[in-house]
Amino acid sequence: MPADRGEQVSPRQGEPVRSTPEQSDVAQASFSLPPGGTAGTSPDPADVAQVLGSVLLEEWGGPRSPLALSYIQDVIIPDLVHCLVRNADLWQNPTFAEIVAWKFKSQYAFPQAVAGSLTSDLLTAVLRMGRPAQNNNRWEPWRRILRANVAGKSLLDVEKEEGYPLAYSNLLLLRLSKLRKYLGQSGAGYRDCLEHPELRECGPEQLRFLYKFQEAMTTEPLYREKLILEQVSVDLGGSLPVSALADLLKTVQAGEERADEAALISVLISVPEERIGVVYETEYGAGNAPGRDRLSAVIAGLIKLELLERCPSGGLRLTDTGAAVIAPFLIPELLEQLHAVRGNREEARRMLLRLNPGVLLPLLREVRRGFPEDIVWGVFEAVYQESDRRIDLFVIESAAEYERAAALLLKALQAEDSLVRAQACRGLGRWTVLRKRGQKTRTPEAEEKWSSGKGGGMPKKPEIVLALVRTLADPVAQVREEAAQALGNIGSPEGLQALAKVAEDFYESPNVRGRAREALRRIVN
């Protein structure tokens, strides 16, 4: 990837073209689709193949070896056809021309001296077929690589789906990684990056793109999530813009497991055009064949992409992936709703339990950060053992911070799930340590009430130690390990005898014995 000097090279005439101001703004990576391959008139793959064959086998003479001829016909031409059709809106884009040249060099082993001229001739030839709507923003191909990466695709996926050579995409990601490392260490600005020896190889234009991209990823709200939804739309063939996909997934969340496909389509068709960005009303009338068929295909695509799944009842619900994608769009609104009903615990409980667990979990994290302690613990109690395992584990993991949590943690030691029991042991150890650290701000009377269990229904310390001692006999070794470590953290002499017995039991797991010995040392010392 040669260093950029702020000029673009036209694939048709080879003339330098100055970058426009619009190409210097990462906002050009807008979330309005259609994506590459669907802009304007989509080219016919057979026509593109014919043009490529004419250039490679006639204008450039073609190879004499039957094996080389077969490689061009069976490998190079089909691969180039896929790349050119998929990226039909980039035929005049200088970065795309650079990518095609890389395909000849890194994928097809053409000499570097040949790759540039051959690329120019090929793109000039396909442009004579007609011009789909063109995107000349030099940053766009780079965006597509990074968008796919953010959406969880591998570089092999990018090569297979977009046709971009693996070596080119890998170099772009390596440069982004170097930039992130440098920014993380120095907090530098763009001009500082230009002077950095390892970043100069990017060239000013690509470095500016990478800098702006990283800036948007770290400062622009929902930038990552919008990129993911844009990639989903690309995978669906550009069927819906990001706003429409977000509305669709929100609608599924709102009526999860209850709404069937027909009901979901009816809701989406009723969304105002200015919000969803798509007109479903046709000459056949609102909601008739073209709009409904299109949305039905979108829903089938989202199921194939594993963002939606069908319930046994026939309704639709979000998968874990779908919930993770849409949750950031929903959380601000859900936090407002929770603020509005926080005085009504039962209403708040009903609201929370209507949510997909994949949406509820990040919402609880936000509640934990932004709500008063008494409200947070009330929310945690409302959802514990009412949703799914992830929610229970999060509540148990968070519980040590809350004064009222000890009773729930003690109860969790009896849970059927061994991970919950192990987490409860850890939580009781932390809960007790945090209460002990607070002794400096407690009066002696308050400390006596806590130690004896006479204040506010709080379990007394010996009750917690006794429960953990009993847990040393749990059938799962991991739970016993956590119980031994918790007893060591608490440091209570009441646990010495039980820990000594475990430490000397040669039928016990070595890990459990090791934790018990360490706990004994901590208590004695």
Q: pLDDT tens, 287-308?
A: 334 467 777 888 889 999 999 9
Q: What is the mean pLDDT of residues 224-252?
A: 87
Band (pLDDT 50/70/90 cuts) for residue 270 is low
pLDDT of residue 46: 94
Planar angle of CA 8, 11, 14, nearest 5 degrees: 70
Q: Is the pLDDT of residue 78 over 70?
A: yes
pLDDT of residue 296: 82
Q: Which domains does the chain have, with CATH numbers?
A: 7-215 (no CATH), 239-318 (1.10.10)
| Tens digit of each residue's pLDDT (9 = 90 or more) over 163-194 | 999 999 999 999 999 999 999 988 788 999 99
Q: Is the pLDDT of residue 95 over 80?
A: yes
Residues 465, 495: contact at Cβ < 8 Å? yes
Q: Which amino acid is at 47?
A: D
| Tens digit of each residue's pLDDT (9 = 90 or more) over 429-444 | 999 888 877 643 344 5
| Tens digit of each residue's pLDDT (9 = 90 or more) over 49-73 | 999 999 998 888 777 788 888 999 9
| Residue written as token pair 């890389």 | 102
Q: Which amino acid is at 179?
A: L
The Cα–Cα gap between 409 and 430 comes to 11
Q: Is the pLDDT of residue 13 over 50?
A: no
CA distances from 368 to 365, 378, 384, 403 (A): 5, 11, 14, 14
Backbone angles phi, psi at 476, to 5 degrees: -105, 125
Q: Of 180, 237, 242, 226, which is closest to residue 328 (Cα–Cα)?
A: 226
Q: What is the pTM of this model?
A: 0.77
pLDDT of residue 267: 62
The Cα–Cα gap between 104 and 114 comes to 9
Q: Of 304, 167, 326, which is closest to residue 246 (Cα–Cα)?
A: 326
Residue 439 has, within 13 A of its CA and on its CB side, a CA count of 10
Q: Which long-range contacts (C-beta less than 8 Å, at least 24 apart) are formed by 339-343?
A: 342/371, 342/375
Planar angle of CA 212, 218, 220, nearest 5 degrees: 80
pLDDT > 90: percent of the chain: 56
3-state secondary structure of 67: helix
Planar angle of CA 84, 87, 88, nearest 5 degrees: 75
Residues 72, 65: contact at Cβ < 8 Å? no
Q: Is the pLDDT of residue 412 over 90?
A: yes
pLDDT of residue 284: 28
The Cα–Cα gap between 501 and 77 comes to 74
Q: What is the mean pLDDT of residues 253-264?
A: 74
pLDDT of residue 274: 42
Q: What is the mean pLDDT of residues 416-439?
A: 88
The Cα–Cα gap between 245 and 226 comes to 10
Q: Is the pLDDT of residue 34 over 60?
A: no
pLDDT of residue 14: 37
Residues 157, 86: contact at Cβ < 8 Å? no
Q: What is the mean pLDDT of residues 17-21?
A: 39
N-to-C CA span, the chain: 62
Q: Of 275, 264, 266, 277, which is closest to residue 233 (Cα–Cα)?
A: 277
Q: Is the pLDDT of residue 279 over 80?
A: no
pLDDT of residue 443: 44
Q: Is the pLDDT of residue 404 over 50?
A: yes
Residues 411, 402: contact at Cβ < 8 Å? no
Report how far Cα 136 is from the mean position of its chain's Cα atoms: 29
CA distances from 7 to 17, 25, 205, 270, 295 (A): 6, 16, 9, 47, 43
pLDDT of residue 23: 40
| Residue written as token pair 């799930």 | 417
3-state secondary structure of 45: helix
Q: Of 268, 259, 253, which is closest to residue 314 (Cα–Cα)?
A: 259
Q: What is the mean pLDDT of residues 97-112?
A: 93
Q: Is the pLDDT of residue 420 over 50?
A: yes
Least confident of 262-271, 357-366, 442-451: 442-451
β partners of residue 310: 316
Query: What does the DSSP assignment read for 242-264?
Result: HHHHHHHHHHHHHTTTT--HHHH
Q: Of 198, 2, 202, which is closest to residue 102 (Cα–Cα)?
A: 2
Higher-pLDDT residue of 431, 454: 431
Planar angle of CA 255, 273, 237, nearest 5 degrees: 75
